Amino acid sequence: MRQYFEDLARFVDSLARPSEVIISRFSAEDSDFIRFNRSKVRQATGVKQVAWALSLIEGTRRIDASTSLTGRIEADRETLRGLVQALREGIADVPEDPFLLIETRPLSSSTERAGRLPAAGQVIDEVLAAGQGLDLVGFHAAGPIHKGFASTMGVRHWHSVESFSLGWCLYHDRDKAVKSSYAGAEWDNAAFAGRMAFAREQLARLGEKPRSLPTGAYRAFLSPDAMTEILSMLSWAGFGLKSRNTKQSALIRMADQGATLSPQVTLAENTAGGIASGFQGEGFVRPQRVPLVEAGRLATPLVSPRSSREYGVPTNGANSDETPESLELAAGSLPQAEALAALDTGLYIGNLWYLNFSDRSACRLTGMTRFASFWVEGGRIRAPLDVMRFDDTIYRILGENLEALTVERDLVPDADTYGERSTLSMRTPGALVREFELTL
Amino acid sequence: MLETLQAEFRRHAPAVDFCALRYVEESSEWLQVRQDVAEPPQLSTSRGAMVTVIDKGGLGYAATSDLSGAGLREAIERARRLAALTAGRSVVDYSAVEMPRPSGEYRSPAGRDPASMGRGAKYDLLAQEAKQCRIDDRIVDWEANLWSTTTHQAYMTAEGGLVEQRFNFVVPNLSATAHAGGESQTRTHGGRYNGFCRQGGLEVLDAFGLAGAGRRVAEGALELLAAPNCPSGTMDVLLMPDQMMLQIHESIGHPLELDRILGDERNFAGTSFVTLDMFGSYRYGSDLLDVTHDPTRPEQYASYGWDDDGLAAEKQYVIRRGVLERPLGGAVSQKRAGMPGVANTRACSWNRAPIDRMANLNVEPGESSLEALIASIDLGVMMRTNVSWSIDDSRNKFQFGCEWGRMIRGGQLAEVVKNPNYRGISATFWRSLAGVGDASTFEVLGTPFCGKGEPSQVIRVGHAAPACRFAGVQVFGGEA
C-alpha cells in the first residue's frame, strides 16, 4: 500500500502548476468487523476502503476536497486528475484566507507496525467458545490502517499499523454487566482466555442484590475506564487555543480566573506514548509531548496551524479541532491493589457513560454510572450498584476532592469506528475522590 | 456507472439464499464564515458499495470502494465467506427472514438546486449575516455556515429488484457567543448541533429565516449573559420544538429501537428499559401523546421510500393516545422479535451494515395554542434549543439542558433565565405530558448526528413536534 501511496502522491505532485501547492492526505483500511450478541454472531462485515483528500492552494486561497478511490492506481490517477481540475476551476470563487498555514519544510516521517492478526473465523471460534453458557455481547475490529501525507513542498509522512480490538460484555441481567477488552497487534489465545476468566470472576459478583442509593455526595474510586470518560470531556472542549481565546473552553476559569485542579493533576498530549500518527492535516509533525496541565495549573494550549496564524502563536502540530489524540494523565502514588482499602466505604465506579456539560463555563459535568460499579464497605465489594447520575464540577472531582491517583495506568485505545477506525488513545490512572455528587 | 455495476453484480452474484448490493454516492459542500473570515470550502465525495449475502442461515456483508469488476467480485466473495462462517452460529436463521425484493424510485423535493447558486454568492450570504453578529464588544465569537449534500443510492437484489433513491439535504446554521465576568453564553439559530436540517433545495434557507438571524443570535447571547440562573425546584416545563426534538430522540426513539431491546447494542449504545411484552399495553405517556414513525413527510430530514433492507416506508403510529403500539425495527429484527415494526433498517453509508435506526420520529400536534399552554402554567419554565443531553444506557434516567429559558408565573411569560436544565425518567416522564401545542406551534427539525452501532455510524434523523407542557418536573440552573 505504501508504494501505491508514493506513486499516486508523485502523480498528484506532477499535476501542480508553478503557482500552486497541492497537499495530499491518504487513508485506507481493510477491516473485519464482527458483532456478537447472546454468544452468537449478529453481523460480520468486511470493509475495504481507500480515500484521498486534496488541498489546492494558490496564493492565500485554498480549497479542500476528498474522494473515495479504488486502490487501483490507473483508475485512481484519472479520478485525482479530474478532482484537481475541478478544484482549479472552483478556487476563483474562494475568498482569500488570512489564516492559511501549511508545513513548507521538506520533512518526512515513517511508522510501520506489522501485527499478527487473527482471521475472522478464528475470532468467531474463540469468542463463541468462550461465551458458551454466558450472555456475551461484543464487537471485534481488526486489520491494517494506513495514513499518508504528501505535498508539493516535498513533505512526506507515512503511518501504517495492523491492530485488533475486541470489546465485550458479560451480562448478568438487564443492565448489569462486566465490560472487558482485549486489543493489540498480536492476538494470543491464552491472553484472551485470561481476560475472559477475569471477567467471569467479576460476573459472579453481579449476582448479588443490587444496591439503590439515595442521591448525595459519596466517596468514590473511579477506574481508569471511568476516568477516560471524564478526560474525554476535557479533550472535547478544554485544551484548544481557539476555544480558550473565544472563551468557550470548558477550562475557561483556569485560563482567565486562576482556577486550579489538584497539584496531583498533570495532563499532556503524549504523541510519543500513543498510537496516533505523528503528523497532522497540514503536514506539521507533532512534538513528542505537549504539557496541557502541570501540577493542577493550565499549561500550553493545543495550537492548530489555523489558530497559529489567527493568534500569532507557533503551532504545536494540533489537529484542526485542537483536541488531543494521545492524552495522558500522570500516575499518582496509590497502588491499585490498595485502592479498595483506601476507599474504605463508598462507590467503586468501573465505567461512566454519556457525559455532557451541565454548565460548560463552570466545567460542570453530568453522566451515568455503567457496567461493573459496586458499593464498597470496609474495603470490600458488597453489592452491585443500580445506575446513578452524577453532576459535579471538574474543579471538585479533580480538584479539592481528589485524594489520590493510582500508580498503575491503563492505555485505553479509542474503540470508535465512525467512518474509519480511530487511532486515538488515552493513558490514565484510577482516581480516589473524597466526594462525588449523585443527583438521580 | 450504475448500469455497469448492476450488470457486473448480476453476472457474479452467487447461487445463495439471498444476495443484494447497495451502492451509495454522496457529495457534500460545507462553507463557513467565522468572525468575518471565509474558511476554505470543504468538499467531499464518498462512493462505494456494500454486498449482502445470506446463505444456509448465515449472513455476511462486504463493502468496497473499488467498484471495478474485480473489486466487486472480491467483495461478493468476502461476503459469501463471512456468511459461511456465521451459518448456524448467528442470532437468527437469516435464511428464514423474508428479505424484500423491491423496485421503484424516490426523490427529495426538487426545490431550488443548491448548485444553481455560485459558491461566491453563498459565501456572500453567510458573510452578510456573520457581520450582523458583531453588535457589542462582548460578542467574542460568531459564525455562519451552510452544509449541502446530495446522495444517490441504489439497492439491487440478485433476482432483479432495483430501488433508486436520490436525496438533497440542506443544513444552515448561525451562532454567536458572548462573554463577560468569567462566563460565556452562546445562542444559535438552527440549534447548537445543526437541528435545523431538511431535505430540499435553497428554499430551505427561506424556511430557516436566514435574513436577520445574525443580529438576533447576537442579541440572544447578550440577553443570556445578563440573565439570572434558572431557579431550582419542581415546576412545569414548556418545551419548544427545538428541545422536543431531543426529548423525543433520547427518551422515545432510542428506547423503542428493536435491536437495542433485543440486546445487540449492549456493548456500546446500550439496552432499553422497554421490553417486548410492553407492546400493545404499556402506558408510555398521557392520553395526549401520539407518536409516529413517518419517513413520508417530504421536507423532513430522514424521509425515504425504502429502508436499506428494501422495506417500503410508510407512516406508522408507535404510540397512540399514550399506549405503546410497535417498536422501531426492520425486517430482521421483526423476524427475531416476532412482532411488526417499521421500515427503519438503515446504514449511514456504503461502508456500514444497516441496523435499526430512527428515521422521522414525530409527536403529532394537539389542540392548544401557545398562548393557552402558557396560560395553563402557574409556575414553570419555557425552554428552547438543546445544548446538553445525557441519559443512561437503558434510556431511562435523563438530564437535558437548553440554551435559553423564560420563566412563566401565573400564566404569564416573565424573565429570561440562563442554563435551564431538567431531569427525569423516561418510563414516567411522558405521563406528565399535560398539554400539546397545535399545528401553529409545530416545527420540522432533526439531527445529522445520531451515533450508534458497532462499527460506529452517525446517521440523519428527523423530529417534528409541537410545543409541549410537562407538569411537575425537576428543574435546575447552572453553577453559582
Q: What pLDDT, in 10s, does the model give residues B187-206?
A: 999 999 999 999 999 999 99
Q: The domain containing residue A430 runs over which residues?
A: 216-438
Q: What confidence score (pLDDT) does residue B182 get?
A: 87
| Boundary (domain end) residue, out of B202, B226, B250 | B226
Strands (E), B286-352: 291-293, 316-320, 323-324, 345-346
Is B448 in a helix, a strand, or coil? strand
**Are A309 and A411 part of one and the same domain?**
yes
The letter for the amino acid at B199 is: Q
| Boundary (domain end) residue, out of B171, B199, B226 | B226
The letter for the amino acid at B314 is: E
The string of pLDDT tens digits covering residues A38-81 is: 999 999 999 999 999 999 999 999 999 999 999 999 999 999 99
How many other CB atoms are found less than 10 A from the CB of residue B369?
13
Question: How large is the average pLDDT for residues B316-329?
Answer: 98
Q: What confidence score (pLDDT) does residue A372 get?
A: 83
Question: How large is the average pLDDT for residues A105-121?
Answer: 94
Q: What confidence score (pLDDT) does residue A418 get?
A: 82
- pLDDT level of residue A410 (50, 70, 90 thresholds): confident
Residue B480 pLDDT exceeds 80? no
Q: Residue A407 falls within a domain, yes or no?
A: yes
Q: Does the CB of B281 have a partner CB in chain A at under 8 Å?
A: no
**Are A152 and A121 part of one and the same domain?**
yes
Q: What confidence score (pLDDT) does residue A276 get?
A: 87
Chain A residue with minimum CA distance to B63: A47
**Are A172 and A247 part of one and the same domain?**
no
The total domain count for chain A is: 2
- pLDDT level of residue A3 (50, 70, 90 thresholds): very high
**Are B63 and B124 part of one and the same domain?**
yes
Question: How large is the average pLDDT for residues A225-229?
Answer: 95
How far is the C-alpha of B164 from the C-alpha of A209, rounded, in Å? 53
Within 8 A of B28 by CB-CB distance, chain A residues are none
- CA B424 to chain A, closest CA, distance in angstroms equals 8
**Are A286 and A433 part of one and the same domain?**
yes
- Residue carrying the nine cell digits 449534500: B149
Distance of CA B107 to CAs A237, B308, B310, Å?
A: 39, 15, 15
**Are B310 and B328 part of one and the same domain?**
yes
Q: In chain B, what percentage of residues exceed pLDDT 70?
A: 100
Within 8 A of A246 by CB-CB distance, chain B residues are 140-141, 177, 179
- CA A180 to chain B, closest CA, distance in angstroms equals 10
**Are A130 and A264 part of one and the same domain?**
no
| Boundary (domain end) residue, out of A205, A226, A244 | A205
Q: What confidence score (pLDDT) does residue B110 get?
A: 82
- pLDDT level of residue A174 (50, 70, 90 thresholds): confident
- CA B392 to chain A, closest CA, distance in angstroms equals 6
**Are B188 and B150 part of one and the same domain?**
yes
Q: Is-contact B397 A389, C-beta < 8 A?
A: yes
Residue B268 pLDDT exceeds 90? yes
Q: What confidence score (pLDDT) does residue B334 get?
A: 98
Residue A95 pLDDT exceeds 80? yes
- pLDDT level of residue B400 (50, 70, 90 thresholds): very high
**Are B45 and B82 part of one and the same domain?**
yes
- CA A66 to chain B, closest CA, distance in angstroms equals 5
Question: How large is the average pLDDT for residues A376-386?
Answer: 94
**Are A368 and A261 part of one and the same domain?**
yes
Within 8 A of B399 by CB-CB distance, chain A residues are 356, 358, 366, 389, 391, 439-440
Q: What confidence score (pLDDT) does residue B114 get?
A: 87
**Are B374 and B335 part of one and the same domain?**
yes
**Are B206 and B248 part of one and the same domain?**
no
Is A209 in a helix, a strand, or coil? coil
**Are A149 and A269 part of one and the same domain?**
no
Within 8 A of B64 by CB-CB distance, chain A residues are 47-49
Interchain proximity B390–A72, CB inside 8 Å: no
**For residues A232 and A416, which has the higher predicted lDDT (pLDDT)?**
A232
Q: Does the CB of B112 have a partner CB in chain A at under 8 Å?
A: no
Q: Which of A204-213, B29-38, B127-136, B282-291 has the lowest mean pLDDT?
A: A204-213
Interchain proximity B89–A40, CB inside 8 Å: yes
Interface test with A, best of B33, B82, B192, B428 (most A CBs within 10 A): B82
Interchain proximity A368–B454, CB inside 8 Å: no
Q: Which of A51, A247, A415 sits opposite B184 (nearest CB)?
A: A247
| Boundary (domain end) residue, out of A205, A228, A249 | A205
Q: What confidence score (pLDDT) does residue A414 get?
A: 86
- State chain B's mean pLDDT as an integer: 97
Interchain proximity A389–B41, CB inside 8 Å: no
Q: What confidence score (pLDDT) does residue A205 get?
A: 87
Interchain proximity A48–B86, CB inside 8 Å: no
Q: Does the CB of B46 have a partner CB in chain A at under 8 Å?
A: yes
Chain A residue with minimum CA distance to B230: A359
Chain B residue with minimum CA distance to A180: B267
Q: What confidence score (pLDDT) does residue A103 get?
A: 92
**Are A279 and A362 part of one and the same domain?**
yes
Interchain proximity A354–B71, CB inside 8 Å: no
**Are B52 and B138 part of one and the same domain?**
yes
Q: What is the full DSSP assignment across A125-188?
A: HHHHHHTTTSEEEEEEEEEEEEEEEEETTS-EEEEEEEEEEEEEEEEEETTEEEEEEEEESB--
Q: Residue A210 falls within a domain, yes or no?
A: no
Q: What confidence score (pLDDT) does residue B209 get?
A: 95
**Are A27 and A165 part of one and the same domain?**
yes
- CA B193 to chain A, closest CA, distance in angstroms equals 14
Within 8 A of B65 by CB-CB distance, chain A residues are 48-51, 68-71
Q: Is-contact A358 A331, C-beta < 8 A?
A: no
Q: Which of A64, A168, A252 sits opposite B40 (nearest CB)?
A: A64
Q: Does the CB of B14 have a partner CB in chain A at under 8 Å?
A: no
Provide ipTM, 2 decimals: 0.96
Interface test with A, best of B185, B267, B395, B449 (most A CBs within 10 A): B267
Q: Which of A42, A247, A419 sits opposite B91 (nearest CB)?
A: A42
How far is the C-alpha of A277 from the C-alpha of A225, rounded, in Å? 23
- Burial (CB count <10 Å: 0-12, 13-18, 19+), residue B7: exposed
Q: What confidence score (pLDDT) does residue B226 get?
A: 97
What distance, in Å, lies between the first and last C-alpha atoms of chain B?
Answer: 61
**Are B155 and B275 part of one and the same domain?**
no
Q: The domain containing residue B163 runs over which residues?
A: 2-226
Q: What confidence score (pLDDT) does residue A277 get?
A: 85
The string of pLDDT tens digits covering residues A284-317 is: 999 999 999 999 999 999 999 999 999 999 999 9
Interchain proximity A440–B397, CB inside 8 Å: yes
Q: What is the full DSSP assignment across B238-273?
A: EE-HHHHHHHHIIIIIHHHBHHHHTTTTTTTT---S
Q: Does the CB of B251 have a partner CB in chain A at under 8 Å?
A: no
Within 8 A of B79 by CB-CB distance, chain A residues are 46
**Are B254 and B218 part of one and the same domain?**
no
Q: Is-contact B9 B72, C-beta < 8 A?
A: yes
Q: What confidence score (pLDDT) does residue A273 get?
A: 86
- pLDDT level of residue B479 (50, 70, 90 thresholds): confident
Chain A residue with minimum CA distance to B72: A70
How far is the C-alpha of B236 from the C-alpha of B380, rounded, in Å? 4
**Are B221 and B245 part of one and the same domain?**
no
**Are B95 and B53 part of one and the same domain?**
yes
The string of pLDDT tens digits covering residues B333-356 is: 999 999 999 999 999 999 999 999
Q: Is-contact A152 A13, C-beta < 8 A?
A: yes
Question: How large is the average pLDDT for residues B205-234?
Answer: 96
**Are A76 and A154 part of one and the same domain?**
yes
How far is the C-alpha of A361 from the C-alpha of B184, rounded, in Å? 6
Distance of CA B221 to CAs A90, A234, B270, Å?
A: 36, 23, 35
Q: What confidence score (pLDDT) does residue A51 get?
A: 98
How far is the C-alpha of A180 from the C-alpha of A171, rounded, in Å? 11
Q: What confidence score (pLDDT) does residue A207 get?
A: 87
Q: Does the CB of B345 have a partner CB in chain A at under 8 Å?
A: no
Residues 154-213 of B with CB under 8 A from A: 177, 179, 182-184, 186
- State chain A's mean pLDDT as an integer: 95
The string of pLDDT tens digits covering residues A114-125 is: 999 999 999 999
**Are A329 and A257 part of one and the same domain?**
yes
The string of pLDDT tens digits covering residues A237-288 is: 899 999 999 999 999 999 999 999 999 999 999 998 888 888 899 999 999 9
Q: Cα–chain-centroid distance for residue B285?
A: 22
Q: Which of B85, B393, B454 sits opposite A121 (nearest CB)?
A: B85
> Cis omega before residue B455 (within 30°)?
yes
- CA A326 to chain B, closest CA, distance in angstroms equals 20
Residue B473 pLDDT exceeds 90? yes
Q: CATH number for the domain including A11?
A: 3.30.2290.10
Residue A417 pLDDT exceeds 90? no
Question: How large is the average pLDDT for residues B444-455?
Answer: 96
Chain B residue with minimum CA distance to A174: B271
**Are B211 and B321 part of one and the same domain?**
no
| Boundary (domain end) residue, out of A177, A205, A233 | A205
The total domain count for chain B is: 2
Q: Residue A416 falls within a domain, yes or no?
A: yes
Give the CA-trace dihedral at B217, B221, B222, B226, to 10 degrees: 140
Interface test with A, best of B142, B192, B309, B390 (most A CBs within 10 A): B390
Q: What confidence score (pLDDT) does residue A312 get?
A: 97
pTM above 0.90, yes or no: yes
Interchain proximity B141–A247, CB inside 8 Å: yes
Which 8-state DSSP code applies to residue A320?
T
**For residues B181 and B467, which has the higher predicted lDDT (pLDDT)?**
B467
Q: CATH number for the domain including B69?
A: 3.30.2290.10
Interchain proximity B43–A65, CB inside 8 Å: yes
